[in-house]
Amino acid sequence: MIKKQLPPGLHIDTLAVRAGIDASQYGENSEALYLTSGFLQPDAATAARRFAGAEEGFTYGRTSNPTVTAFENRLAALEGTEAAIGASSGMGAILMMGMGLLKAGDHVICSNSMFGSTINLFAKEFGKFGVETSFVSQTDAAQWKAALKPTTKLLFAETPTNPLTDVCDIQALADIAHNAGARLAVDNCFCSPALQRPAQMGADLIIHSGTKYLDGQGRVMAGAICGPSSLIVDVFGPVVRTAGMVLSPFNAWVVLKGMETLRIRMQAQSANALAVAQWLQEHPKVARVYYPGLASHPQHELAMRQQSGLGGAVLSFDVRGGDPEALRANAFRVIDSAQVISIATNLGDTKSIITHPGTTSHGRLSEAQRQAAGIGQGLIRLAVGLEHTDDIKADLSRGLEML
Ligand SMILES: *Cc1c(COP(=O)(O)O)cnc(C)c1O
């Protein structure tokens, strides 16, 4: 094995390509993919010590794998946390967090504009096991404070939100959580550590869907939790070992290599998104654009402070129309006229992706619930990729000109 100790104080760009795990005895320069479910043990006594946790060493793929460890170490280095633990998907990571931290009778506070599956996981699945969740305004910290109970264990936020890009104040929510003896977890999917490092603003745990910008090329499902070793190793490790929402080595390897280009992709895609948002804002067929990088965004200053001065790569916009049916027809026309942009339900890809939240991600809500969430039938979400912005604008123009 070729040992190489990294010096302290390295920049995030360096960590993204260097942090991980030592090379094997073969000295590979690019990280190896260890596609194995079991690991050879030198003898029975060593196996016994490793299984008892008395000695370090790989045993079985549900417990750990060198490629998964490399992914975890690199992600923790980027987020600036002591440790990280991989999961099969972003939702697997949130499930792991809930199983590790919560028990029947505990209370959780979440933003009411969290990712739809997250809302369902807390309201429906954890609800079945006696965990109670209150849903409050994304942007009004006073509502989070007012929702606190003696049993509150966790505040869980996501910023910016999907699809309307509402931004919450991470430091303010961390203070509210800590004053009440609770923890703050932040889903950092949309910004990634290239733009936003919630641990520096007081968050205790950071959730990732590696499926999105960490992979960055729309290839595999992955997830992770970042945080202090006391929780990652001692609380979540046993959960993943027994419950099995483990990250596959192949997916870990894909995302590990994806992270090497994370910052330059996030910068380039944020710049593209800003250019498209500015253009849409001036378009006569567009009623409103939601993008944290625009001065017109209600939390623009907070977003710029929290997100390294960049808006991220996801924006939404309302097309003009009339009643909900006319708005939906107009939105569909814009989406269906795209010849370059993909119609798909992912985001975080180098390929731009367009969706109609009102009939997809938020299609199962009632019209009243959708209106309360601000998701009209004329709303379109665009996750901006790496194509030339002139081509993205031309692609959107095709449909917009028809309205
Ligand atoms: C996609 C997404 C998730 C879920 O991640 P999966 O990898 O799809 O399970 C969680 N949070 C946010 C903000 C997401 O966009």
Same domain, 255 and 305: no
Residue 212: CB within 6 Å of ligand 1? Answer: yes
| Residue whose CA is at the smallest distance from ligand 1 atom 2 | 209
Residue 385 covered by a domain: yes
Domain boundary among 232, 261, 290: 261
For residue 172, the SS3 value is helix
Residue 5 covered by a domain: no
Structural domains counted in the chain: 2
Residue 29 covered by a domain: yes
Residue 307 covered by a domain: yes
Residue 249 covered by a domain: yes
Residue 227: CB within 6 Å of ligand 1? Answer: no
Mean pLDDT in order along the chain per 10 residues (403 residues): 78 95 92 97 96 93 97 98 98 98 98 90 96 96 98 98 95 98 98 98 98 97 98 97 97 98 98 98 98 98 97 98 95 98 95 96 79 88 98 98 95
Beta carbons within 8 Å of 299's beta carbon, 6+ residues apart: 139, 166, 167, 168, 292
Residue 209: CB within 6 Å of ligand 1? Answer: yes
Same domain, 57 and 89: yes
CA of 346 from ligand 1 middle (Å) equals 9
pLDDT at 366: 77
Residue 7 covered by a domain: no
Q: Give residue for tokens 């070992």.
A: 241
- Asked if 185 and 122 touch (Cβ cutoff 8 Å), the reply is no
Same domain, 249 and 364: no
Q: In the structure encoding, which two tokens stand for residue 377, read together?
A: 């039938």
Torsions phi, psi for 43 (to 5 deg): -165, 170
Q: What is the CATH number of the domain that holds 159?
A: 3.40.640.10
- Asked if 227 and 198 touch (Cβ cutoff 8 Å), the reply is no
Q: What is the pTM of this model?
A: 0.96
Closest ligand 1 atom to residue 346 Cα is 1
Task: Name the pairing type of β-strands 379-383 and 314-319.
Answer: antiparallel
Residue 3 covered by a domain: no
Residue 4 covered by a domain: no
Domain hosting residue 59, numbered range? 12-261
Same domain, 257 and 304: no
Closest ligand 1 atom to residue 92 Cα is 9
CA of 225 from ligand 1 middle (Å) equals 12
CA of 115 from ligand 1 middle (Å) equals 7
Beta carbons within 8 Å of 317's beta carbon, 6+ residues apart: 277, 280, 286, 287, 288, 289, 290, 379, 380, 382
DSSP state of 67: H
Same domain, 330 and 385: yes
Q: 93: closest CA among 262, 241, 209, 228?
A: 209
Residue 89: CB within 6 Å of ligand 1? Answer: yes
Q: What is the CATH number of the domain that holds 311?
A: 3.90.1150.10
**Residue 233: how many CB atoms within 10 A of its CB?**
15
Same domain, 305 and 219: no
Residue 215: CB within 6 Å of ligand 1? Answer: no
Same domain, 51 and 82: yes
**Residue 244: how many CB atoms within 10 A of its CB?**
10
What whole-number distance in Å separates Cα of residue 214 and Cα of residue 265?
10
- Asked if 207 and 201 touch (Cβ cutoff 8 Å), the reply is no
Domain boundary among 261, 295, 329: 261
pLDDT at 361: 86
Same domain, 133 and 198: yes
Residue 258: CB within 6 Å of ligand 1? Answer: no
For residue 60, list its beta bridge partners. Answer: 38
Same domain, 243 and 113: yes
What whole-number distance in Å separates Cα of residue 355 and Cα of residue 381?
5
CA of 45 from ligand 1 middle (Å) equals 42
Domain boundary among 200, 226, 261: 261
CA of 388 from ligand 1 middle (Å) equals 26
Same domain, 176 and 300: no
Closest ligand 1 atom to residue 212 Cα is 1
| Residue whose CA is at the smallest distance from ligand 1 atom 5 | 90
Q: Give residue for tokens 């814009």.
A: 334
**Residue 85: how many CB atoms within 10 A of its CB?**
30
Q: Give residue for tokens 């194995």.
A: 36
First to last CA, the chain: 63
Same domain, 254 and 304: no
DSSP state of 344: -
Same domain, 292 and 377: yes
**Residue 57: how many CB atoms within 10 A of its CB?**
13
